[in-house]
Amino acid sequence: MIALIDYGAGNLQSVIKAFHYIGCEVKVTADPKELQRADAAVLPGVGAFGDAMNSLQKSGMVPEIYHFIEQNKPFLGICLGLQMLFESSEESDGVKGLGILPGKILRIPDGPGLKIPHIGWNSLDLKCHTGLFENLPENSYVYFVHSYYLKAEKRHQVIATTSYGVEIDAAVQRGNLFATQFHPEKSGQVGLKILENFVSMIGEGNA
């Protein structure tokens, strides 16, 4: 069972529809005990970093997310779900993220011809062709909606980058923990393939 973590701050329907499209059931849950019974989990997110972290803390899910990831079960953070895995964000001064991965969430700088938020399709510079990106073509296009971006501290954890005025760390991996700044559920066939690759990891390497 794949748990889709519901903390009241994410648009879940597009994620649910994408998993259903590839023939995979997901369970939307705000129950920490149900999360621990899951084989894999997804942390989606839209909105502001501070509001999302506050909602996630109030949900009671935070300790169970740490425990889940420690078990090396497949875990996928999407968009704001990626940003919350890090320590903090320039969007919300003084608000602590989950701090599971080291790095900074920075505002995309203003520049000629750049619109903030960044909304649209960008190609990925893939750093690996395994895991989430198995059998993906080079320069695959995916869909972004964001005003803030990741600069990861541990460069070996970055598995894809893109460019929008600055180089953006578009996806990261540590063991079976994955996160994408882009929305695979809104990225057409490429995104569906990424989700299929994620699902294929269930049962592999679990503690």
Catalytic residues: 79, 183, 185
Residue 101, burial from CB neighbour count under 10 angstroms (0-12, 13-18, 19+): buried
What gap in Å lies between CA 69 and CA 40, rounded to an integer? 10
Secondary structure class of 14 (helix, strand, coil) = helix
Residue 26 token pair: 């997901």
Tokens 């779900």 -> residue: 81
Contact in structure between 45 and 52 (CB atoms under 8 Å): yes
Tokens found for residue 197: 């690759």
Contact 41, 76 (CB under 8 A): yes
